[in-house]
Amino acid sequence: KKIKFKKIINLSSSSLYPNINGKFNEKSKISFSKNNDHDYAAAKYYTEKILNTNFSKKKILHLRIGQIFGNLKDSTIISEMKRNLIKKNSIEILGNGKREISIIHIKKLVEYINFCMTKNLYGIYNISDYTISIIKISEILKKKYGRKKTNVKFKFKKISNFKFDLVASKFFKKSKIKKPELKDLLNEI
């Protein structure tokens, strides 16, 4: 409050929404208590609440971000699959691979944040480039990094194969940023 800032950009998370089948937009119900990462989601939720309570809503931008990939040290599904493929020529998939996740490459996220810093954009926005199945990701990785006899293993544990779709159309419409082509995003994997 002392520095009289113009805007806070809060990097929140799609983890605020439940890990169930569905399409989730900014008006969807927040429900993270049963998610595997509920502690992380709770921290993101309370950060949003604290900011909204203490500052004008015209100064706060909450970006609820899908799964970020592209950092060599991250532990996302995509990066773990890629590392195992490169090291062991093997991909391990929990469940049957029909699970769908909403993803964004770190380079695109940085681009979007830079854009948001200079624009009159406030409120809550979901940020994700595509929703894609785990099996599709494995096929792309296998084609790009696999060798002869690449092994894809399915481990059928009690894993939900839900289709979680983080709807980011509000962000793309309001910002007038062109959503990247899927092929361009996948080239970054």
3-state secondary structure 93-121: EECCCCCEEEEEEHHHHHHHHHHHHHCCC
Whether the pLDDT of residue 157 is over 70: the answer is: no
Average model confidence (pLDDT) for the chain? Answer: 90
Helices (H) and strands (E) in the chain, counts: 6, 10
Per-residue confidence band for 3, with pLDDT thresholds at 50, 70 and 90: confident
Phi, psi of 124 (to 5 degrees): -110, 130
Q: How many residues does the chain have?
A: 189
Residue type, 103: I
Contact 104, 129 (CB under 8 A): yes
Tokens at 184, concatenated: 């361009």
43 near 16, Cβ under 8 Å? Answer: no
What dihedral do alpha carbons 38, 104, 80, 91 form, nearest 10°?
120
Q: Which residues pair with 22 in a beta bridge?
A: 164
Tell me the pLDDT tens digit for each residue of 77-105: 888 888 889 899 999 888 888 889 999 99
Instruction: Write down the residue that tokens 């950092």 correspond to.
Output: 71
Please report, in angstroms and rounded to a whole number, the separation of the first and last CA atoms in the chain: 41
Q: How far apart are CA 140 and CA 138, in angstroms?
A: 5
* pLDDT tens profile 101-137: 999 999 999 999 999 999 999 999 999 999 999 999 9
**pLDDT at 158 > cutoff 70:** no
Residue 146 amino acid letter: G
